Structure 1
Amino acid sequence: MKLLIDMGNSRLKWAVENQGQLAGGIAVNNGLLSAETLRQRWHALPPPSCIGIASVSAGPLLALVASMAAELWPDARIIQAKSQKQAFGVTNAYQQPEKLGVDRWLALIAAHRHYPAAACVVDCGTAITVDLLEANGEHRGGYISPGLALMKQALAQGTNALPLIDSHYPDQPAQSTEAAIHSGTLLAARGLIEHVLATRAAPSQLLLTGGDASIIAEHLNIPAVIDSDLVLRGLAIAVEGQA
């Protein structure tokens, strides 16, 4: 059994992988992470043979997770995933491959393994990242924009009067400020994704992951596959290659 940990900008997701099957745990917001929280989540798990960690940044939270994993399972090997120039059939388009976010890299690996076709991989999280992948595993590069929550926060913090909202409204011209913010941020995300796909020379399947994937998918005019565990699936592949 392997323990897989995906540390994003806003929350920690984890799952156990056993004979190719993932069983996910409940995600924890980064602001709530503590030694006691992790101990409560993990103490009843069977000892893993290895622990895979994907973290978008180094810092105290990564150190906390690594130390708790070592405390609970001192015999388990800890593997921290890194973006590479080429691995698992995928070629990284970045001139400095290590600068590609590890979550994006792992999502590309999983897309190539589990959805073997040209793909547009969109992570709808704190940031919205869009990556283009050819059927042969060649990464064409990508785009980054603020996620829905960050767009709303920017409006609230950058103006004197606009509110920070967390409500849903119909997808139509708005008749209130709150509804206008909701619709405007969704259309910004939708416009980015649909424009990128429209510029592709050949058809690409659209893969969505991240916390806002289902919200954004509802407003797209293009069919999408939602795979909330795409990064964890990529981490499982990366760990498999090193275990």
Structure 2
Amino acid sequence: MNILELDQGNTRAKWRLIDTSAQVADPVVLARGAFAPGPWWEAGVMPPAWGEFSPQRVRVANVAGAAVERSIQSRVQQLLGVQAEFARVARECGGVRCAYQDESRLGVDRWLAVLAAFRRRPAPALVVDCGSAVTLDMLGGEGGHLGGYIVPGLGLMRRALYSDTDAVKVAPPDSPPASLDPGCSTQDAVDRGLLVMVLGAVERVYDDLAHRCALSGYANPRLLFCGGDGEMLAPLCDRPGEWAEDLVMEGLALTNP
């Protein structure tokens, strides 16, 4: 079966088409892509791969609110003739127990990423999703979601500096900084400073989780990065981590099997 999976964030959306007919743990990815920021569902045409592979199901992770959910549902029905299936946070799923007292308040993207991390290996992990906001979720060894943290993403912090200061108005860099050494220009100081802020949070939380693991007899936790800025941040982190591009979409197979 061909399945279209959508990860709708606050700023942009990405998608992949998978083939699950082989009945193996990891599906075959047939095609993937991302939409420019904005209401992609208002575009006149769909990505050619959607027509080429004719998905029989559509699974969606949406954090952009009810109005966007309705728009996606309508557009998917119009384009593909199927009902989109939206992931929801549950008290427990895939061996993971939600830490939130009111699970409906947890972002579904965070939940899906944690589920996928535990499915990959049922062991402690810190899951860092680097999008409009950076979320850090702690996962215990027995499938207990331990809660997490939310901080502004790189773009959000840059825009705050630009709008609320007079002299610190710098554009995003064309490429990641080659160094995290102290900047000797305003541009370098901002570019590197934002990274140091996010990485400092990641490393602090990782060390806290590693300490908890040691007290409980577990090995050091894994560190998984996903989200738009995750690929850039992972190799800059002083703790051993990995870039898991599809982590949120992998979780859809658990909430919407």
Tell me the TM-score normalized by structure 1. Answer: 0.92
The residue aligned with 2:62 is: 55
1:6 partnered with 2:24? no
Q: Distance in 2 between matches of 1:45 and 1:136?
A: 42
1:181 partnered with 2:182? no
1:239 partnered with 2:256? yes
Q: Deviations over 1:133-179 (max 9, x none)?
A: 01221100000001111111111111122113211433111111111
The residue aligned with 1:139 is: 145
Q: Distance in 2 between matches of 1:42 and 1:22?
A: 12
Question: Would you say the 8 A contact 1:4–1:236 is kept in 2?
Answer: no
The residue aligned with 1:102 is: 108
Q: Distance in 2 between matches of 1:185 and 1:193?
A: 13
Question: Would you say the 8 A contact 1:131–1:141 is kept in 2?
Answer: yes
Change in CA separation of 1:224 and 1:67 when aligned onto 2, cut-off 3 Å? same
Matched AA of 2:146: R
Q: Distance in 1 between matches of 2:52 and 2:121?
A: 30
The Cα of 1:32 is off from its aligned counterpart by 5.7
The sequence identity of aligned pairs, in percent, is 33
Q: Distance in 2 between matches of 1:22 and 1:10?
A: 24
SS at match of 2:10: coil
Question: Would you say the 8 A contact 2:93–2:254 is kept in 1?
Answer: no
* 1:80-119 correspondence to structure 2 within 5 Å: 80-119=86-125
Question: Would you say the 8 A contact 1:11–1:30 is kept in 2?
Answer: yes
SS at match of 1:142: strand
1:192 partnered with 2:198? no
The Cα of 1:79 is off from its aligned counterpart by 1.1
1:30 partnered with 2:37? yes
1:228 partnered with 2:228? no
Unaligned runs of 5+ in 2: 21-26, 214-219
Q: Distance in 2 between matches of 1:31 and 1:157?
A: 21
Q: Distance in 2 between matches of 1:197 and 1:64?
A: 38
Change in CA separation of 1:99 and 1:114 when aligned onto 2, cut-off 3 Å? same
Question: Would you say the 8 A contact 1:3–1:52 is kept in 2?
Answer: yes
Unaligned runs of 5+ in 1: none
Tell me the TM-score normalized by structure 2. Answer: 0.87
Question: Would you say the 8 A contact 1:156–1:164 is kept in 2?
Answer: yes
CA RMSD of aligned residues (A): 1.7
Q: Distance in 2 between matches of 1:146 and 1:38?
A: 33
